[in-house]
Structure formats: C-alpha cells, structure tokens
C-alpha cells in the first residue's frame, strides 16, 4: 500500500512535511520534476569534464589528464549518488527540501566552473568549494531526517557526522597538499575517496535507509541517458565544425553514423538488464552495484570525449581521409580513446549485474570477448581508416546485443511422441 504523502510538483507544494522514511513498497515511485531539474545541473559539469578530456586527447597528453579526470569525475559522481539515495529514502518535496536541493544545484555549478582549473593548473579550489556547498546542504538534510524520523535517527546522525568529518578533511587537503608532488596529491585523494565511500556502510550499521529499488534503478538509468546525451552533443558539435570546414565526405558520414550507432548500442546494452528486479531481490548487493557504476558512468563520459575528437580530426584535415601525413594527432590514440571506455563498459555491465540477476545477464564470454575484440580493433588503424575501425567497434557492440537477445529467447517445448 502506498504511503506517499507528498503532493505532485505540478499541483502545488506543501510548505512543510514531516520527514520520514518512505515505503520501499511504494507504488508508481518515479523520479520527481525536482530530481530531473537537479540532474540538468550535472549536464554542465559533465560537459565541462568531457571537453577537458577531448582537449587532452587532441594535445596528445591523455596520460597526464587521466588522473585528473578520474578525480574530478569522482566528485561529480559521488555528489549525484548521495543526493539520489537520500532522495529515494527521504524526499518530502516541501519548501525546505526544495531550497536545500537548489543549494546543492548551485554547488554543482561552482564545481563545474572549477573543472578547467583542475585540468590546466591542478587548482582544485573551486571544485572543493562547490563540493563543500553540496555536502553541507546534504548534512542539513540528514540532520532534519534525524530530528523528524525517530526510527532512522541513529543512521541519519551517523551520515551527518561522517560527511562532515570527511568534508573537513577535503578542505585540509586543499591547503596541505598544495605544492606537493602530484603523486602525493593523488594518493591523498584516493584515501579520502575511500573514506567517503566508507561512510554509508558505517552509517547503515545502525539501520538501513528505506531506499526504493525501482526509484534508484530509474535514477541511475536517467544518468546514463544524460551521459549519452553529452556524447550526442559532442558529436554534433564536431559535425558542425566539419560541415563548416567543407570537409564532409563519405568517410565522414561513416564516422558520424558509426558514432551514433555506437551510442545507441551502449544505451541498448544498459537496458538489457532489469536492474530494479535485481535490487528488489538482492538489496545486500546495493553497495556493489551502486558504487561500481562509477566505472560505468566514467566510461560513458570518456566515450563522448573520444567521439568528439574523432569527428574533429576530419575538420582539421579538410580531406577525405584523416590518415594523411602531417597530421599531428595519432589516430591510434583516438581509436583507443573510444575503444578502452567501451571495453570497460561492456565488462562492468557483466560484473555489476551478475550478482543481482544471475545467469540472465550478458554471458561472460560475450562481455569479455566483445571487450577483447573492441580493444584489439584500434590496432588496425593504418591498414584501415578510422571510420572503418569505429564502425567495427559499433558492430561488435551490436553483436553482443544480438547474441544476448537470441540466448534469452524461450526455447519451444519438445513435442510429445
């Protein structure tokens, strides 16, 4: 029986609703308009980081940019994840909740403004400030839950304490690690990130928050669509540059079409898995599934950067083939910048869903085999043009989808004698 006491956003808002844990069996629980608006602010952050990765690929210094990418993306992902799981358990959609959510949205925009500085000069000041704004707003939400929901008070207080302590350490890191070798800064970041991820398991030792499996699965799926949408935007910007340069050609059409087909295939792979059913049956795997999506999301964002650079290669050359002499950007690097995240994505879709859904997920032979083929294809750049290699990557993903669907087809019952 549904216990939803919240008004729909389109029908007005109640000034104040007592914050209590929502029912995990609530019917028709879907993302709210406020959650969708919240996600839009992450479009800005993701766009900024994808642009920086694309710039690193174009400048042939991707290896130096990868650590910054993983660190900045962690801040984006972790802030989104914490809001999502809190909202699944405690969304009241009243005035205080909306205002605190708006404050978190402001923090996202500040964080996004700091992305270029983090990649260019290693300056994490704005990112830390934006992250601080988001985290303090979340602490206030947890304190409100502790005050108004007696059954979840101990857990809510642990969340508030844990987030506050780790946030203080992030601020200390900003001052203490300034000027230290980059390797030391990365090590400190990894330690603090692990502390961040330790807060939820520690807090919920006193009681599990009442997150809704269908709602959480939908929220993750929507973030996947946001990341794919960023890739579509990146490709479309590249296409505009190619058209403006008058470099359109048959190989360019193949490249653009293959990029679109690849994105469609990645979307299809994700929605082959009925995540909500697995989360409903196996709540104990929620941490593994939820945390593991860091690699899924990071891979999808990286694919967008690789596709943007691959299309821009044609705009720079203004010729029919990007393999002509004199081109400074190694096309093998461009191909690998697409292939590596696609391979990571395929593997993670099996790793994350096997504990939830059992043998109904993509078979490991398909997941690992498809990833291996994708990783090998960039080696063919040279004998084959880049558009052909990208087409082969898209076809490999399509083959994984097709075989998975065929394996799931119910077999006809044997006829009697």
Domain ranges of the chain: 33-206, 213-408
Cβ within 8 Å of residue 172, ≥6 positions away: none
Q: What pLDDT sits at residue 13?
A: 65
Q: What pLDDT sits at residue 238?
A: 66
Of 67 and 243, which is predicted with more confidence?
67
Q: What pLDDT sits at residue 410?
A: 61
Looking at residues 177-187, what average pLDDT do you find? 88
Alpha-helix residue ranges (DSSP H) falling in 211-285 = 213-244, 250-270, 275-281
Q: What pLDDT sits at residue 316?
A: 59
Q: What pLDDT sits at residue 255?
A: 83
Q: For 36-88, what is each residue's pLDDT tens digit?
A: 999 999 988 998 898 899 888 888 788 888 999 999 999 999 999 999 999 99
- pLDDT class for 360, splitting at 50, 70, 90? low
DSSP sequence for 266-281: HHHHHTTS-HHHHHHH
Does the pLDDT of residue 366 top 70, yes or no? yes
Of 343, 344, 308, 345, residue with least CA distance to 329: 308
Of 242 and 142, which is predicted with more confidence?
142
Cβ within 8 Å of residue 140, ≥6 positions away: 100
Q: What pLDDT sits at residue 341?
A: 96
| Separation CA 151–CA 4 (nearest Å) | 18
Looking at residues 307-327, what average pLDDT do you find? 59
Looking at residues 202-207, what average pLDDT do you find? 94
Q: How far is CA 175 from CA 53, 115, 193, 361, in A?
A: 26, 18, 17, 46
Of 346 and 251, which is predicted with more confidence?
346
Does the pLDDT of residue 9 top 60, yes or no? no
Does the pLDDT of residue 386 top 80, yes or no? yes
Name the least confident of 1-15, 153-167, 393-407: 1-15
Is the C-alpha dihedral spanning 330, 333, 334, 339 positive or negative? positive
| Separation CA 392–CA 398 (nearest Å) | 10
């Amino acid at each position: 029986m549904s216990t939803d006491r919240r008004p729909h956003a389109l029908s007005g808002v109640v000034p104040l609703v007592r914050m209590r844990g929502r029912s995990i069996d609530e019917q028709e629980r879907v993302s709210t308009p406020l959650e969708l608006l919240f996600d839009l602010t992450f479009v800005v952050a993701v766009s900024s980081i994808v642009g920086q990765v694309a710039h690193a690929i174009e400048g042939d210094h991707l290896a130096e940019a990868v650590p910054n990418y993983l660190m900045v993306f962690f801040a984006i992902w972790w802030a989104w994840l914490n809001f999502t799981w809190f909202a699944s358990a405690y969304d009241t959609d009243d005035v205080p909740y909306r205002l605190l959510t708006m404050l978190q949205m402001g923090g996202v925009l500040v964080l996004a403004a700091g992305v270029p500085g983090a990649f260019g000069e290693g300056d994490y000041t704005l990112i830390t400030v934006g992250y601080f704004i988001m985290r303090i707003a979340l602490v206030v939400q947890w304190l409100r839950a502790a005050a108004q929901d007696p059954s979840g008070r101990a857990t809510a207080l642990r969340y508030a304490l844990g987030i506050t302590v780790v946030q203080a350490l992030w601020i200390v890191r900003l001052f203490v690690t300034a000027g230290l070798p980059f390797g030391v800064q990365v090590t400190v970041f990894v330690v603090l990130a692990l502390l961040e991820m330790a807060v939820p398991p520690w807090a919920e030792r006193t009681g599990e928050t009442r997150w809704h499996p269908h709602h959480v699965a939908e929220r993750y799926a929507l973030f996947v669509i946001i990341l794919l949408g960023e890739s579509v935007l990146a490709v479309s910007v590249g296409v505009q540059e190619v058209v403006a340069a008058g470099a359109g050609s048959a190989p360019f059409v193949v490249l653009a079409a293959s990029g679109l087909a690849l994105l469609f295939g990645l979307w299809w792979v994700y929605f082959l898995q009925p995540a909500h059913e697995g989360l409903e049956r196996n709540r104990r795997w929620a941490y593994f599934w939820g945390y593991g999506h860091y690699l899924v999301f990071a891979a999808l964002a990286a694919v967008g950067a690789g596709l943007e650079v691959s299309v821009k290669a044609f705009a720079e050359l203004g010729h029919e083939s990007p393999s002509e002499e004199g081109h400074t950007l190694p096309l093998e690097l461009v191909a690998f910048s697409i292939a590596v995240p696609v391979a990571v994505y395929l593997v993670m879709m099996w790793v994350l869903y096997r504990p939830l859904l059992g043998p109904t997920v993509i078979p490991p032979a398909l997941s690992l085999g498809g990833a291996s083929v994708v990783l090998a294809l960039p080696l063919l750049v040279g004998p084959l043009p880049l558009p052909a290699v990208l087409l082969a990557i898209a076809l490999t993903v399509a083959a994984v989808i097709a075989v998975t669907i065929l394996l799931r087809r119910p077999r006809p019952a044997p006829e009697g004698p």
